[in-house]
Copies of this chain bind each other. A is one copy, B any other.
Amino acid sequence: MKNSTKKERFLLVVLKLIHRKGFKATTMRDIAHELNFEVANVYNYIDSKQSLLEGYLFDIQDEFHKAIDTILATPHSPNEKLRLLVASYIGITTRRPYHQALLVNEWRNLKEPQLQEFVSRRKDYENKMRGIIAEGIEEDQFRANDVEMMAQTILATLRWLHNKCLDSETIINPLEIEKQLLDFIFTGISKK
């Protein structure tokens, strides 16, 4: 109980530190210093530096997967599903921007076999997304461009968002962001 709260604090402080310095550049001594205790004590909280990264990444990756699976289980149209997916993506990102930043920036630092697992799970996610898009094209809801390219450009757009959540001085409004990103993805920047 109190136990878990203390560990949670540890994980949050370290997450922000890693976000600031980068995973490779963050040493065990940096972590200890940030928490005002000695290096050896870090190992009372975690097993290793690698397992720390794995914990953060698989945790947030799981959240994204649960979200897409929930949406796939609904009876909505492809168009609606994609809108829901974008909304859920934005929700997770605004709720957990540090985790998302780590997911985007530091996944390369995973080692085998976790790297393999991570990439393969991400591919799962992308495949599900491609499924929605392909269906939408079939039903004539989406423009018939390359499905892979469409999925990746949409994801690229969404993956940028954590920067906005973390860097900007202004407080962000998730609903306003959602509106604008949906606008961009579905109808582009041109005024018709």
Contact = CB atoms under 8 A, between A and B. Distances in A.
A180 interface: yes
B145 A183 contact: yes
B154 A156 contact: no
A142 B183 CA distance: 12
A152 B140 CA distance: 29
B150 A184 contact: yes
A188 interface: yes
Contacts of A183: 143, 145, 188
A150 B24 contact: no
Interface string A141-166: 11111100110111111011001100
Given A149-B164, A149-B180, A153-B184, A191 B24 contact: no
A181 interface: yes
A55 interface: no
A185 B155 CA distance: 13
A142 B189 contact: yes
A171 interface: no
Given A149-B164, A164-B149, A142 B190 contact: yes
A66 interface: no
B190 A143 contact: yes
A73 interface: no
A188 B187 contact: yes
Interface of A: 22, 24-25, 79, 105, 108-109, 133, 140-146, 149-150, 152-157, 159-160, 163-164, 177, 180-181, 183-192
